[in-house]
Every structure is written in structure tokens, then in C-alpha cells.
């Protein structure tokens, strides 16, 4: 049995089965990237609910696993060299999992790097811009009278969606085959239309390929399961 007691995070979020991968997360677009990846890969894992609304990511125990205080983060008891290993940043976790399993990533080196480019596109552009649009359009930022921040994030979100729209022309998935690049963006695009209700200000109705891709992605049983992880404690 693996010994995960050297990871201080396990004192606050106790591990039931130390032999399987431990996921510290919340059902947000960044958190579900990893749960959807694990569900698609069929890897066993234990999910721990981290309450971001109670600032649990900034607790002393949590920042031992991610110094940046954000979900998701993992401990793999069977990491490199067969030793327990902790990792943070959703896209880095996704790349690690594709290396570990050989799944959801093209094996051809050039196509692998292209997939990683789309992951960086998501991490550097889609996540931050869509997330800030949510803040200014739906959440606390709506109280700000000056609409320039909201409009800046709306315009950039619209432009990024157009990049995706063009990429998906004639393709079922971003890399033709289904990869972690698709998983990285499904939750963000879905959340922008549903939770943020931003469709009308980002030109959603004018898109064709992105809505069809979103529908295909959300219809995958593993994605449906992953989007609901972790269940909120009673």
C-alpha cells in the first residue's frame, strides 16, 4: 500500500485508498478538465471536494501541493519511478496523464506538439479571458458601471471562439481525433453559455462548428460523468 502521509494535504483531506490517484478539485471548468480526462481514460481515482468559495485552496495544507492556491491538483501514488508524486496546473496534469497512459494524445511527435499548442491556447487565452468575462458579465463585476472591462473580455472571447470555429471547420475534434485539447475547452465554452449567460454578447448564434462540437463533447458518457466530479458533500 502506498504511503501518502508525507503529503501534508492528506491531513486535512484524508485519503481512503492511497493506491489510487488522488484528485483535489471542485466542479469548475479547470477542475473538470482533469476529472473528464480521468473518466475518459478509465483510471481509478479518489476525488476530494475543495471548497473554493471558502478559500480552502489557500489553506496551509493545500498550498503544499499547489503553491499558487488553485484547484486542480493531484497526487499519483504511482508517479515517475513508481514513487508518489504531486502535480498542479490542469494542463500539466493532462499532459502527465497522457504520457502515463498513451491515451488522448496523438502518438506522432509533430501532432503531439500541435495538441500541446492548443492546450497552451486554452491555458493562456481561453481560461483567463472567458473567466474574466464571467466576473464582469455575471458575477461581482456587474456592479462596475464602466463597461469597458466587460467589453474587452467579451470582444476577446468572441475572437477566441472564432479561432476555434475556424479550426473546427471540417473537423469533428480539434485534432480530428478526440484529445485532451477538446477536454480542456469543453467546460469553458459550456460555462460561458450556461453559467455566464454570455451568448448574446459573444456572437454565439453566429457560430456553427463550435456549438456542434460542444454538443458532441457533452454527449460523451465519460465527459458527462467527469463534469459532475466531485459531488458536493452533504
Q: List residues binding ligand GSH (CB under 6 A).
A: 28-30, 52, 55, 57, 70-72, 89-91, 123, 127
- Whose Cβ is closer to ligand GSH: residue 59's or residue 209's? 59
- Whose Cβ is closer to ligand GSH: residue 48's or residue 70's? 70
Cell numbers standing for residue 127: 481560461
- Whose Cβ is closer to ligand GSH: residue 61's or residue 172's? 61
Query: Minimum distance between the CB of residue 91 and ligand GSH, rounded to whole angstroms?
Result: 6
Query: Minimum distance between the CB of residue 131 and ligand GSH, rounded to whole angstroms?
Result: 7
- Whose Cβ is closer to ligand GSH: residue 46's or residue 89's? 89
If residue 218 lies in a helix (H) or strand (E), which one and from where to where?
A: helix 209-218
Query: Apex CA 70: angle with CA 68 and CA 72, to 5°?
Result: 125
**Residue written as grid cell 506522432:** 108
* DSSP assigned state of 24: E
Query: Minimum distance between the CB of residue 127 and ligand GSH, rounded to whole angstroms?
Result: 6
Distance (Å, whole) CA 125 – CA 155:
13
- Whose Cβ is closer to ligand GSH: residue 24's or residue 178's? 24
Distance (Å, whole) CA 100 – CA 92:
12
Query: Minimum distance between the CB of residue 30 and ligand GSH, rounded to whole angstroms?
Result: 4
Query: Minimum distance between the CB of residue 221 and ligand GSH, rounded to whole angstroms?
Result: 23
Transcribe 10-73 into DSSP letters: HHHS--S-TTSEEEEE-SSTTHHHHHHHHHHHT--EEEEE--GGGTGGGSTTGGGT-TT--S-E
Amino acid at each position: 500500500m502506498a504511503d501518502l502521509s508525507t503529503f501534508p494535504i492528506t491531513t486535512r483531506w484524508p485519503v481512503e485508498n492511497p493506491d489510487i490517484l488522488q484528485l483535489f478539485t471542485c466542479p469548475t471548468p479547470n477542475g473538470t478538465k482533469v476529472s473528464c480526462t480521468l473518466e475518459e481514460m478509465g483510471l481509478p481515482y479518489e476525488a476530494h471536494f475543495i471548497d473554493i468559495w471558502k478559500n480552502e485552496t489557500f489553506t496551509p495544507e493545500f498550498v503544499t501541493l499547489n503553491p499558487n492556491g488553485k484547484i486542480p491538483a493531484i497526487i499519483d501514488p504511482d508517479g515517475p519511478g513508481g514513487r508518489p508524486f504531486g502535480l498542479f496546473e490542469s494542463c500539466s496534469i493532462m499532459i502527465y496523464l497522457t504520457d502515463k497512459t498513451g491515451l488522448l494524445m496523438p502518438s506522432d511527435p509533430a501532432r503531439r506538439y500541435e495538441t500541446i499548442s492548443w492546450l497552451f491556447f486554452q491555458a493562456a487565452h481561453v481560461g483567463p479571458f472567458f473567466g474574466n468575462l464571467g466576473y464582469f458579465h455575471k458575477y461581482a463585476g456587474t456592479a462596475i458601471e464602466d463597461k469597458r472591462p466587460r467589453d474587452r473580455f467579451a470582444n476577446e472571447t468572441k475572437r477566441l471562439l472564432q479561432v476555434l470555429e475556424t479550426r473546427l471547420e471540417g473537423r469533428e475534434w480539434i485534432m480530428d481525433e478526440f484529445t485532451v485539447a477538446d477536454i480542456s475547452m469543453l467546460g469553458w465554452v459550456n460555462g460561458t453559455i450556461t453559467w455566464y449567460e454570455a451568448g448574446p454578447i459573444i456572437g454565439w448564434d453566429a457560430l456553427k462548428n463550435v456549438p456542434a462540437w460542444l454538443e458532441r463533447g457533452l454527449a460523451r458518457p465519460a465527459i458527462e460523468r467527469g463534469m459532475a466530479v466531485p459531488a458536493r458533500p452533504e
